[in-house]
Amino acid sequence: MKPIRALTLDLDDTLWPIAPAILRAEQALHAWLQLEAPLTASRFDIDALRAKRDEVSRTHAHIAHDFTAVRRESLRLALMEAGDDDSLADAAFEVFFAARHELEFYPEVEQALQRIACRYPLLALTNGNADIARTSIGSLFRGTISARDFGIGKPDPRIFLEACRRLDCAPAEVLHVGDDLELDVRGAQSAGLQTFWLRRGDCGADDMPEEGVATVACLLTLADRLGC
């Protein structure tokens, strides 16, 4: 590795598993709909609400990068189609969003990030709508750049370059870490950042090159590699 001055980190499936978080949020949302919008709850089970979300993502290209807007619009349409008050969409989304942040970090994440943050500034970089400030590790980060707010998501190099600008670093001075080879690794490399591909496994395992890129098994391995 060349010397670095800062790190950017993906969130979903890098710091926490996203599938169980979304399922918990969908269950909390549906329980709320049963009380506040029973017609919608009766017509749309969790799978049907997911299908409506996917439909909105396909048919509303102008907001497809914004998971919050897609989810809120899909709820509004579901409420309207079921005959409930579609103005409940905002409240319904807030129920979902609060539950979406009831996260279970991967076991090593908090310890590893505390070590890394003592030495390097951290910036979250996500295509999702998680708000790192709403988590217990939010204070370790300088902030978040999301596809929703920036208007462009990974792997577009512009979102990585914006992260470098906010960190006041040249791209070669920033290390990006994420679980997705194309979105995180290839995208960051196209913008000139250094990268580690997070491929979760045994934290004690040696890093093995995969697909021509450097890999780490977990964030403790990363902290060790950075000398933190």
Residues tagged active-site? 10
* DSSP code per residue over 51-86: HHHHHHHHH-GGGTT-HHHHHHHHHHHHHHHHTS-G
Closest Cα partner for 142 from 113, 99, 177?
Answer: 113
How far apart are the C-alpha atoms of 65 and 149, rounded to whole Å? 9
Torsion, Cα of 106, 226, 10, 153 (10° steps): -170
Q: Decide: 141 and 122 in contact? Cβ < 8 Å.
A: yes
Round to whole Å and give the CA distance between 225 and 75. Answer: 45
| CB-based burial, 10-42: b 16+ in 10 Å, e otherwise | bbbbbbbebeebbebbbebbbebbeebbeebbe
Residues in the chain: 228
Cis, bond preceding 155 (omega within 30 deg of 0): yes
